[in-house]
Structure formats: C-alpha cells, structure tokens
Amino acid sequence: MLQILFFSILTATVFYIAYGRFLQIYKNISLGITENEKHNSFTGLKNMILFALGQKKMFNRPVSGIFHLFIYLAFVLTQIELLEIIVDGFTGEHRIFAHALGSFYNFLINSIEILSFLAFFSTFIFLYRRNILKLIRFQKPEMKGWPSVDANLILMGEILLIFGIFLMNSSDQILQNLDPQHYPSTGKLYISSFIGASLFGQLPQDWLVWFERIGWWLHLFVIYGFILYLPFSKHLHIFLAFPNAYLSNQESRGKMSNIPVIENEARSMVGLPPKEMVEQTEIFGAADIFQLPRRTLIGAYSCTECGRCTSVCPANLTGKKLSPRKIVMDIRDRMEEISNQVKPNVEYNDGKNLFDYISQEEIYACTSCNACVEACPVLINPLEPILAMRRYDILMNSGGPSEWMGMFNSLENTQSVWQIPESRDAWTKS
C-alpha cells in the first residue's frame, strides 16, 4: 500500500510540473501571428505521416537514418511497457498485461528487447560520432556548451533506460520459475533469459527481487525524468515535429510570399486594381518573435539541432557566418528569454529583439536557395524568418548592404533593377 501511495504522489507531481512547462511553451508559440493562408488538411496529414512519423528525410543519409530508426522504434514500443508499469504502480499488480495478451505479450516484449538492444548499440554509435569522431556539423559554434551537453545527456539517459529494462526483465525471467504465483509467465524472453542465466542464475531469490525492483524503478525514474527534461531539450521535437509537419508551408520551394500592402501599391502604380483588400500595417517584416508566424515558432521548438541544414548551406560552406540551424535556435532562445515576462494585453518591450541574436551579416549572407529547407527532416523552414528579418531591416530601418542601394533607388524611380535613365516601359511607347 505504501508503494502505491508513493507511486501515485510521484506520478501526479511529475505530470503536474510537466503540464505547467508545456503550457508555457504553448503560450510562447501563441505570441506569434496567425496566418490567413490556405492549408490543405490532406497534404498536412500526408506530411505528418511521411516526415514526422515515417522519418522519410532521415534516410537521405542512410547510416544515421537507420541507427536513428532503431532508437525511435525502441522508444515508441517501450512506451507500451511503460504503460504497463504505470498500471502496475497504481494497482499494485505485476505485469498486468501478461494475462490479458497471452502469447502476443511474449511477442511484444521480445520485440521491445530486440529493438532496445539495437538502440543500445546505436546510442554508442551516436556518442562516438559526436564526441570522438567529432563530425563537423556537430562542432559548429552554435553547438558549443549546452546544445552539446543536451545531446549527450539524452543519449546517456537512453543507456540507463535500456539497462533498467534488461535488469528488470532478466531478473524477472528467473523469478518466474522460483515464484510463479507472484511473477506471471511472460514466455521466454530470448535476450533477458540469456542475460539472466549468465549473470543472475546463481543468485539468491532475495537478491533477484531487489534487482527486479531496481530495474522497474530505474525504468520509471528515467522516463519521468525525461518527461520533466523534455520541454527544456531539443528532444521536444519528438512531439512537436508532428504539428510542425502538418502546418509546414505547402507552397513550392522557390515561391516567396509578397507583402500584401506593398503588392497593392505596386499594382496601383502600373494601373492594376488591388489584388485584395488588406489592413494597413505599421511594421513590415519581423524584428521580433511577435511578428513571426506561429508556424515559425513551432518550427523553432521542433528543431532537432541535427545540423543537416547548415551542412548543405552554400553560404556556410564558403565560410560565411550564416548557419540556418543557429537562426532557428536563436528564435527559440529569444522565446525562452521573454518567457513568463509577457503580460496579457500589454505591449512588451525589453529593449531587445531578434537582431540582438542574429546579425545583419547572417541574414544578408543567405542566397535564398532553399537548400536548408530541403534538408530539414522535420520540415522546418529557416528561410522564412531570414526573409522576414531582411524585409524589416530594409523597409523599416532603411538598411541593407550598400551595394544594394543603387538597385533599390532604381526600382523606386524607374521600376527597373538596372540604373538606366529611361522608364522601364519606355520601349512600349516608341
């Protein structure tokens, strides 16, 4: 009874704390603007299934894609065993699903163990790639400090979780023969039965009971720790990759959105009627997260920090300061900076904005080639905030590289990018 009470209090506390943090993330995302664009729900669902659930783009790099798949599948299936642990914790039972599922239970747990073993191997491969092999995309400046520690902490947690699973199951396999009344039969678990016979076969029953309980609680504590840690980690993409893929931009890669007010002005200059009636705005582009679409803010929290975007960015590859991954991470950091400080219906101004995180050198180095957009496995679009910030700097601050000023003046005066004295449509009047 005492164990059930402790378990219930622990579970309620963990989920209460986690709820508060996830609610704050929702509020942060809500600081962005809503968009009135057409969105095809079928296409959104297809993107969610293919890219968030099916991880289609991960296999563009087969080696890391396959190892990541092992960890992903093991994580998903392990939640079934976690569900059983939670039910057991509330009821005081042991392996409550074993009776209900019968032989399928044996198949299920064996599948979890095989995938967990593959995930265990994959975890060490990823630790080796990050810390010993030191792949270039994990050594960029934005990955120094916490981002690198964050990635390693999750991998270490994965090792602890798998250790807990096998410690629990291997001890349980022996206890099923020693005390079948309290330890229901799961059938033969091939990996755990081998571990149990090799390491625990000669141990007294009391020790085995302790090992089984240690494995059970270790499994639970690691998962609960992960739930509490997740909102502070890049691994939030496990959940947010789904809405991000669903809401991702469905326009063709090369299409850039116009600013409606300016588009109507341009149409009136050449004698065309307004395309649509739009409200006047005092701000063009984006200087802070309050002017960015919520879709972009969800993308910032969905970033896996894998660096595939930066590794294919031509500006970054030629030594420029721009890193698409850093842009996305900076947007997330800005949201976290103002978290809990924004009051409802009160205009927020702390004297800072995204330009304190992202320099002009970065946004003007972008060639708008969409290579980063194509590379992202969870359909984040780093180009959108870059263009929004560039527009703000040019239209609101009269900024931009000095080399561009002549082109801007020519466009304003003659509607041509070339600095020629005649009007652009002069040829039609000759």
Mean pLDDT of 285-297: 94
Q: Which residues contact 46 (CB under 8 A, 6 or more apart)?
A: none
What was the pLDDT predicted at 252? Answer: 84
Are the CB atoms for 262 and 284 separated by under 8 Å?
Answer: yes
- Is the pLDDT at 89 greater than 70? The verdict is yes
- Is the pLDDT at 328 greater than 70? The verdict is yes
- Is the pLDDT at 275 greater than 70? The verdict is yes
What was the pLDDT predicted at 304? Answer: 93
385/327 Cα distance (integer angstroms): 8
Farthest-apart Cα atoms in the chain, separation: 103
Q: Side-chain half-sphere of 296: how many Cα atoms within 13 Å?
A: 27
Q: How many other β-carbons are positioned within 10 Å of the β-carbon of residue 87?
A: 13
Mean pLDDT of 126-136: 94
DSSP SS3 for 33: strand
Q: Which residues contact 385 (CB under 8 A, 6 or more apart)?
A: 286, 292, 296, 327, 328, 331, 354
Instruction: Find, among 213, 208, 209, 186, the residue nearest to 197 by Cα.
Output: 208
Q: Sorting pLDDT into bands at 50, 70 and 90, what band is 278?
A: low
Instruction: Find, among 93, 117, 53, 246, the residue nearest to 181 by Cα.
Output: 93
- Is the pLDDT at 176 greater than 90? The verdict is yes
pTM: 0.88
Mean pLDDT of 300-326: 96
181/183 Cα distance (integer angstroms): 6
Token reading at 195: 């571990």
What was the pLDDT predicted at 430? Answer: 64
- Is the pLDDT at 420 greater than 80? The verdict is no
Are the CB atoms for 393 and 400 separated by under 8 Å?
Answer: yes
From the CA atom positions of the chain, what is the Rg in Å? 27
pLDDT, tens only, 194-208: 999 998 888 999 999
3-18: b (≥16 Cβ within 10 Å) or e: eeeebeeeeeebeeeb
pLDDT, tens only, 229-252: 999 999 999 999 999 999 998 888
CATH (residue range 284-417): 1.10.1060
Amino acid at the residue 247: L
Q: Sorting pLDDT into bands at 50, 70 and 90, what band is 412?
A: confident
Q: Sorting pLDDT into bands at 50, 70 and 90, what band is 228?
A: very high
Mean pLDDT of 59-64: 90
Give, rounded to a whole angstrom, the gap between the first and last alpha carbons of the chain.
96
What was the pLDDT predicted at 6? Answer: 92
Q: Sorting pLDDT into bands at 50, 70 and 90, what band is 428?
A: confident
- Count each helix (H run) and each strand (E run) in the chain, helices first: 18, 0
403/380 Cα distance (integer angstroms): 31
- Is the pLDDT at 69 greater than 90? The verdict is yes
What was the pLDDT predicted at 334? Answer: 96
What was the pLDDT predicted at 38? Answer: 75
What was the pLDDT predicted at 421? Answer: 72
- Is the pLDDT at 100 greater than 70? The verdict is yes
pLDDT, tens only, 339-379: 878 876 667 888 899 999 999 999 999 999 999 999 999 99
- Is the pLDDT at 102 greater than 90? The verdict is no
DSSP SS3 for 293: strand
Q: Sorting pLDDT into bands at 50, 70 and 90, what band is 34?
A: confident
Q: Which residues contact 95 (CB under 8 A, 6 or more apart)?
A: 84, 88, 172, 183, 184, 186
